[in-house]
Amino acid sequence: MKSPFATAVAMGVGLLVLVGYFVPVPVLAGLRLLLLQWAVILAGVALLVGMANLIQYHVENLRSKQNIGSVLLLASLGLTFMLTLYFSPQSAPVQWLFSAVLIPGSVALMALLVFTLAYAAVRLLRRRPGVFSVLFLGTAILILLGAVALPGIGSLPFISNTLRPWLAQVPAVAGARGILLGVGLGTVATGLRILLGSDRPYGE
């Protein structure tokens, strides 16, 4: 049984923000802004709670499995946190941590996506053979061919200046807009379910 208090707060705040967005009354607009500022502060606090959850899980993981990954994670998390507290987020050591460790790590994982996606493309034909899969892969290959200059050939004449722009700007944009309209309607429906108290992903 969810708490009626939590439900009332969620519904009330949601309705105030919604009405404040549409109705141009200064009091409502001010209240909406205030509530959104509170939400931003709470999101910041929730980030710390998230970090605490991450630490809790890896400490337990360390106790039960002696996982080296958990040791590395806890050590680097603690080091980064202490350095950021001692210096400041804008200081040279912290900036170095970001530019020399965090960003290259993320970029390396992003680079792995090339192989992951190439493998997924091959697997797609094996797993779901059919017209759709062939069309999907054919289009992806045409877009790639049109986007790069091949060694010794340069840009492919028809593909890079006619076919690729047409594919990217006409069928792809039309499809994406259709998907986004569906997503927009789904978002409205989800928001209204929470405002009406039907979905309550909070409290006890």
Partner 1 sequence: MSVTGSGVSDILGLIFVALFGLLMVVSRVLKQPRPGRDLRPLPALNRLRQAINLTVESGRRLHVSLGRGEIIHPRTAVAFVGLSAMQKLVEDTAVSDRPTIVTAGTGPLGILARSSLRSAYAAANQAGRYRATYGRVTGLTPFSYAAGALSVVRDETVAANFLVGSFGAEVALMTDGSQDDDTLTVAGTDNVVAQAILCASADEPLIGEEVFASGAYVGAGMLHGTSLLTQDIFRWLLIAAMVGGALIKMLGVW
Which residues lie near partner 1 (CB under 8 A)? 2, 18-19, 22-24, 36, 39-40, 42-43, 45-51, 53-54, 56-57, 60, 69, 102, 105-106, 109-110, 112-113, 116-117, 119-121, 123-124, 127, 136-137, 176, 178-183, 185-196, 198-199, 201-204
Please identify, using beta-carbon distances, which residue of 122 and 149 lies nearer to partner 1: 122
Residue with tokens 């939590």: 6
Please identify, using beta-carbon distances, which residue of 86 and 193 lies nearer to partner 1: 193
Min. distance of Cβ 151 from partner 1 in angstroms? 27
**C-alpha distances out from residue 161 to 56, 110, 141, 142, 173, Å:** 54, 28, 15, 12, 17
Please identify, using beta-carbon distances, which residue of 150 and 181 lies nearer to partner 1: 181
Please identify, using beta-carbon distances, which residue of 49 and 149 lies nearer to partner 1: 49
**Chain mean position to CA 91:** 27
Q: Which residues of 159-197 are buried (b: 16+ CB within 10 A; e: fewer)?
A: bbeebbeebeeeeeeeeeeeeeeeeeeeeeeeeeebbee
Min. distance of Cβ 154 from partner 1 in angstroms? 27
**C-alpha distances out from residue 24 to 15, 18, 19, Å:** 15, 11, 9
Min. distance of Cβ 189 from partner 1 in angstroms? 4
**C-alpha distances out from residue 82 to 79, 85, 86, 93, 175, Å:** 5, 5, 6, 11, 48
Min. distance of Cβ 105 from partner 1 in angstroms? 7
Please identify, using beta-carbon distances, which residue of 39 and 149 lies nearer to partner 1: 39
